[in-house]
Chain A
Amino acid sequence: MSITGHLAELARHRALLWALVGRELKGRYRGSLFGFLWTFLNPLMLLGVYALVFSVYFRIDMEHYAVFMFTGLLPWVFFSSSINEGAGAITEGGSLVTKVMFPLQVLPAVKVMANFVNYLLSLPILFAFFLADGVAFTWCIIAFVAVAAVHILFTYSLVLLLSAANVFLRDTKHVVGNLLTLWFFLTPILYPLTQIPEGFRFLVQFNPAAVITLAYHDLFFWGRWPAWGPLAGVAGLSLVLLVVAVVVFEHYKEYFAEKI
């Protein structure tokens, strides 16, 4: 199936996609005491942990450090959770894969969109932090739409490829889980770009996650327009990745049911 066919099928089943995203989000905390509040409690607690470690123990000397770190951490949580959960989206799809006729690309897409909605829901907390810490927003915040679109495209392409690979190579999920930790520390989330020795700083532009993180920093924290060039580069890379992922996924998807 062509790339457009793949995406058109996804668009045609958007009602199904949103129904499953709803299931994912509502089901996640159903039955727990705080229920949907966990959507907000989880990032807050994560922030608390990192804020404690990096502003008290390892002191990073920076004004408004907690807000800065939170700006980059939230999109990373969206990205890494999508990859972690999405890699197993097909293998853990159960009867949806093996027992019913189903547009399978919906499963990885659900993981990405569920985590993205979660990210959107945590933004008000971020805004509250900005207000409390006296950091002002600028109009550049509207660039969020473009940055997020690139971010979703990149994440979905990667998740699509990994979810198909994991059907045939079950180690994929575990390898990816560990690589994500490395990737996290290589990306300037917990530290500003200036912490990287000047000679190595250029390497950052080869890290798509770093380009995206810097863009979020720009539009939220620094109140300026993101660097469009590198961002366009990531968008181009994501498109290439999407083509590869769709070709692989569509080629092998007919064998998913029997290999699970």
Chain B
Amino acid sequence: MSTATAIEIAGLVKRFRREMLRRDYTTWKSLLLRPFKRRTDADYLTVLDGVDLSIEPGRTIAIIGQNGSGKSTLLKILAGIYKADQGTVTVKGRVSSLIELGAGFHPEFSGRENIYLNGTILGLSKKEIAARFDEIVAYSGLGDFIEAPVRTYSSGMYVRLGFAVAVNVDPDVLLVDEVLAVGDEAFAHKCETKLNQFKAAGKTIVLVSHDLISVKKFADEVVWLDGGKVAARGEAAQVIDIYRQGVARREDETGRAQAEARVAELAAARRWGQGEVEITGVRLLDEAGQAHAVFTSGGPMNLEMDYLMRQPVDDLVFGVALNNSAGVLCYGSNTAIDQAELGQAPPKGTVRFAVQRLDLVPGTYTVDVATHAGDGRAYDYLTQVASLSVRGGPRDEGIWRPPHTWSLTARGDKA
């Protein structure tokens, strides 16, 4: 191990027993009934699967990743709360973790008593706490409430007090788990200032967060943890970008899987009509004919529906509607309104609704499709048969984005 690292992780593997995750504890009864039950690999869930990471002193590293990717487990191992199953973890210096704020607070005790209690738990001596007491109280901003029992505190006050004690431990390595997300704006600002002070003082900070904006602001480096492995590591903006793409790709995959599953359930609820012309499949495709669930705002999108004529009809109309997540109809049209010339429909076929520019603002939308008669009577009407996410584009608001430009003209008196 090189001497220039504050944290050194090599080949770290962490497994949890599934029984424990299910809270299915061993009891004397189960022990008596099956004393020698063998555990197989299926009984374990591997949360961290070979993580290698070395962090130099004075760096601020952010760990990002989706829920269940092992971020918090990694942090707990660094804090010494969990034990590694394989591999080695070395942390140099005094560690303070902002994983749990206010550990050991007693609700009936005053803020003052709890500062001493919590400080002692975090490893401060009585003298050290006394020396920092005024600073802690000032920092928590609790004022006279410091003499009131902690049970009377709002959750924001509770967190503020816990944070005030924790940051006064004066650590070499600070572990932060999502604490920036709690508290009001003033508190968030204080946290920010404090983290910057730590950075300036040359402390090593490891932070776990879903808030990519604050990650970008604080971190020198970002590590993307995916499925218990380091998927990417490097400069913040770059890794965040890779991460975002990865997440979008995965969302797209699950969305497609769901769309396929949906088609099989077309007969289910949210459907009406006599069924003369049945819709047998719906697909959302890109221009290359690839199925997707995520589309780019302003880009193309194709919707295909397969139909099957159970009875011959001569006035067949195909319709499509897009609704946003609030249920607001964003766009709806059909072949009759659009006066589309499709010719005589064969008994079995596929209709394509091609959108050249999907000018919807980013969000999640659902799709309704229908076949009906010229007078509007439904043959087959399916609501929310597919859903799609619209991504990208500027951060504008509303429902749709009309193609637009801005310009400015001077309006002088003598013009």
> A27 and B109: CB pair below 8 A?
yes
- Please pick, from A96, A101, A169, the residue contacting B80 in the complex, using a CB distance under 8 A: A101
> B82 and A102: CB pair below 8 A?
no
Q: Per-position contact with B for A22-38: 1 when CB-CB < 8 Å, else 0?
A: 01001100110000000
- The answer to whether A15 and B99 touch (CB under 8 A), given A100-B81, A101-B81, is no
Q: Per-position contact with B for A172-202: 1 when CB-CB < 8 Å, else 0?
A: 1001000000000000000000000000000
Looking at A100, A170, A259, the one whose CB has the most chain B CB atoms below 10 A away is A100
Please name all residues of chain B whose beta carbon is closer than 8 Å to the beta carbon of A259 when the two chains form the complex.
20, 25
- Bound together, the chains give a CA A15 to CA B100 distance in angstroms of 21
Q: Which residue of B lies closest to A98 (CB)?
A: B81
- The answer to whether the Cβ of A248 comes within 8 Å of any Cβ in the partner chain is no
Please name all residues of chain A whose beta carbon is closer than 8 Å to the beta carbon of B122 when the two chains form the complex.
100
Tell me the minimal C-beta distance from B80 to chain A in angstroms. Answer: 4
Looking at A96, A169, A258, the one whose CB has the most chain B CB atoms below 10 A away is A258
Q: Which secondary structure dominates where chain A touches chain B?
A: helix
- Please pick, from A95, A175, A258, the residue contacting B20 in the complex, using a CB distance under 8 A: A258
- The answer to whether A170 and B25 touch (CB under 8 A), given A15-B120, A100-B122, A101-B81, is yes
- The answer to whether the Cβ of B28 comes within 8 Å of any Cβ in the partner chain is yes
Contact residues, A201-260 vs B (CB, 8 A): 254-255, 257-259
- Bound together, the chains give a CA A30 to CA B20 distance in angstroms of 35
Q: Per-position contact with B for A73-99: 1 when CB-CB < 8 Å, else 0?
A: 000000000000000000000011011
* Count of interface residues, chain A, beta-carbon cutoff 8 Å: 27
Please name all residues of chain B whose beta carbon is closer than 8 Å to the beta carbon of A98 when the two chains form the complex.
81, 100
> A16 and B120: CB pair below 8 A?
yes
- The answer to whether the Cβ of B117 comes within 8 Å of any Cβ in the partner chain is yes
Please name all residues of chain B whose beta carbon is closer than 8 Å to the beta carbon of A170 when the two chains form the complex.
25-27
Q: Per-position contact with A for B62-106: 1 when CB-CB < 8 Å, else 0?
A: 000000000000001001111100000000000101011001101
- The answer to whether the Cβ of B265 comes within 8 Å of any Cβ in the partner chain is no
- The answer to whether the Cβ of B121 comes within 8 Å of any Cβ in the partner chain is yes
Please name all residues of chain B whose beta carbon is closer than 8 Å to the beta carbon of A15 when the two chains form the complex.
120, 125-126
- The answer to whether the Cβ of B116 comes within 8 Å of any Cβ in the partner chain is yes
Please name all residues of chain B whose beta carbon is closer than 8 Å to the beta carbon of A19 when the two chains form the complex.
116-117, 120-121
- Please pick, from A16, A27, A30, A31, the residue contacting B121 in the complex, using a CB distance under 8 A: A16
- Bound together, the chains give a CA A172 to CA B26 distance in angstroms of 11
- The answer to whether A100 and B116 touch (CB under 8 A), given A23-B109, A169-B27, A170-B27, is no
Q: A170-B27, A257-B81 are in contact. List 15 more A-B contacts (CB 8 A).
A: A27-B108, A30-B108, A96-B121, A98-B100, A99-B103, A100-B81, A100-B97, A101-B79, A101-B80, A169-B27, A169-B31, A170-B25, A258-B16, A258-B82, A259-B20
Closest 6 CB pairs of A and B: A99-B100, A254-B83, A30-B108, A101-B80, A19-B120, A171-B28
